[in-house]
A and B are shown apart, each in its own frame.
Chain A
């Protein structure tokens, strides 16, 4: 490694750390939104109502055919106007600008909510029907049944799938650099522009993403073990 490369690392490598934090923040916020949308979507897909099923299916199908960049630009450049119209209905006339962080989280969350929908749908279907019938026979109302019988098991079945969604999602957050969120990819871009050491900084960034992936793997393995603590293994 040349002296200039070492100098560049010494001067700019610290820049990547706040970027790393921002990537984690965008990832976690998007994942939370994706889980909420996934639960709603799965409920829709399994509902009796035709409209609910049709809209959930449209959601997952359309998202499967859209690049994240399109959704990102649509939300970032188009979201403000829509919000302004809505705010106008309530008598607010000021100018609304969409914050890049919010736009990024909404986009990634919305996109991966579709994948989470499929995960939750599978998990809900994996809960044995007899248990729900038994709960009903015990006189549980729908809410209690959901809370005591269905949801604890849905989490157990959904964790491996959600782990996969998370791993893809955290990598997808890289595109949010395109609207100027100061996350890892953007920071790497800035550092490499300033130092002309693009190879070095992008390689370093790639390694940071690998660390994130490795740590997530461990975390999900633990979560899986925790969720399966009451299940005897064959």
Chain B
């Protein structure tokens, strides 16, 4: 371990962390928007709608993310004249937007399968009851389907987000200086394997723990109605047992 090198590389590495988080957050937001389109299509009864959607999901879940990234960065980037002619060449000039596009498409494919499973798993009676109450489709979605699915998918989605965060490191292979890219750059200059990679690894680990904590607290907030109510002890001023998030 070379602590001088850590101190020297830390500012750049933190900038790399910022890029990593930027890649992650942008991909997740775009991915979520895509999900809003993909999930209804996937659940549709019309073959023309669900079959292409299924093909898309099958492709993105069945091939390595790295291949998808290369396919979009090198593959689509190959049609330089076409992109130039419609004024979109700037997208493929460096790896940033191809990476965002790939990660978004990838996470949307995985997330929509998670969502589909959860929506199909909703108790039929609840939806019937809501319909019987005269709820419109939109109100049904907003009041019954979405809140229930949100709780159901959260554990699986948090895994997906963590996987995605780790996968953003692949962007370093298409010219992006995210945490992995910055680390590799320092490594190429100094060859300090035992200092640089463990430091970067520790940062990724911290990000993973941070995301885990974040999702656990969201889950905690969303499940207030499932916990025991504070007992009468609260009224008498006795100390309550701490309500801490627990893993189920």
Question: A: which residues have CB within 8 A of B?
Answer: 62, 64-71, 73-74, 77-78, 81, 171-175, 177-178, 185, 188-189, 192, 196-200, 202-203, 205-206, 209-210, 213-214
Residues of chain A lying within 8 A (CB to CB) of residue B77 = 198
Give complex CA distance A89, B213 in Å: 43
Interchain CB contact under 8 A, B187 and A73: yes
Interchain CB contact under 8 A, A171 and B65: yes
Give complex CA distance A198, B74 in Å: 6
Chain B window 201-213, contacts with chain A (Cβ cutoff 8 Å), 1 for yes, 0 for no: 1001111110000
Shortest beta-carbon contacts, A-B, top 5: A65-B208, A199-B75, A174-B64, A198-B74, A67-B169
B198 nearest CB neighbor, chain A only: A74
Question: B: which residues have CB within 8 A of A?
Answer: 58-59, 62-68, 70-71, 74-79, 162, 166-167, 169-170, 172-173, 180, 183-184, 187, 191, 193-194, 197-198, 200-201, 204-209
Residues of chain B lying within 8 A (CB to CB) of residue A197 = 78
A to B contact number (C-beta, < 8 Å): 115
Interchain CB contact under 8 A, B75 and A65: no
Most buried by A among B64, B162, B209: B64
Interchain CB contact under 8 A, A185 and B197: no
Interchain CB contact under 8 A, B194 and A69: no
Give complex CA distance A20, B76 in Å: 23
Minimum C-beta distance from A55 to chain B (A): 16
A73: contacting residue among B64, B79, B197, B204, CB under 8 A: B197
Residues of chain B lying within 8 A (CB to CB) of residue A81 = 193-194
A197 nearest CB neighbor, chain B only: B78
A73-B187, A171-B65 known; A202 vs B169 contact (CB < 8 Å)? no
A207 nearest CB neighbor, chain B only: B63
Interchain CB contact under 8 A, B205 and A209: no
Give complex CA distance A209, B64 in Å: 8
Minimum C-beta distance from B21 to chain A (A): 14
Interchain CB contact under 8 A, B67 and A205: yes
Residues of chain B lying within 8 A (CB to CB) of residue A172 = 64
A189: contacting residue among B70, B79, B201, B208, CB under 8 A: B70
Interchain CB contact under 8 A, B166 and A67: yes
B168 nearest CB neighbor, chain A only: A67
Most buried by B among A73, A172, A197: A73
A-B contact pairs, 17 of them (CB 8 A): A68-B169, A70-B201, A73-B193, A74-B201, A77-B191, A172-B64, A174-B66, A178-B173, A192-B70, A196-B78, A198-B75, A199-B74, A199-B78, A202-B75, A206-B63, A209-B67, A214-B62
Residues of chain A lying within 8 A (CB to CB) of residue B169 = 67-70
A198-B78, A210-B62 known; A67 vs B67 contact (CB < 8 Å)? no
Interchain CB contact under 8 A, A65 and B205: yes
A-B contacts besides A199-B76, A202-B74, 14 pairs, CB < 8 Å: A64-B162, A64-B208, A65-B205, A65-B207, A67-B167, A81-B193, A173-B64, A174-B65, A175-B66, A188-B70, A197-B78, A198-B71, A206-B67, A210-B58
Give complex CA distance A196, B80 in Å: 12
A70-B180, A78-B193 known; A185 vs B166 contact (CB < 8 Å)? no
Give complex CA distance A58, B229 in Å: 35
A67-B180, A78-B197 known; A192 vs B63 contact (CB < 8 Å)? no
B166: contacting residue among A66, A74, A77, A199, CB under 8 A: A66
Most buried by B among A64, A67, A78: A67
A178 nearest CB neighbor, chain B only: B173
Residues of chain A lying within 8 A (CB to CB) of residue B162 = 64-65
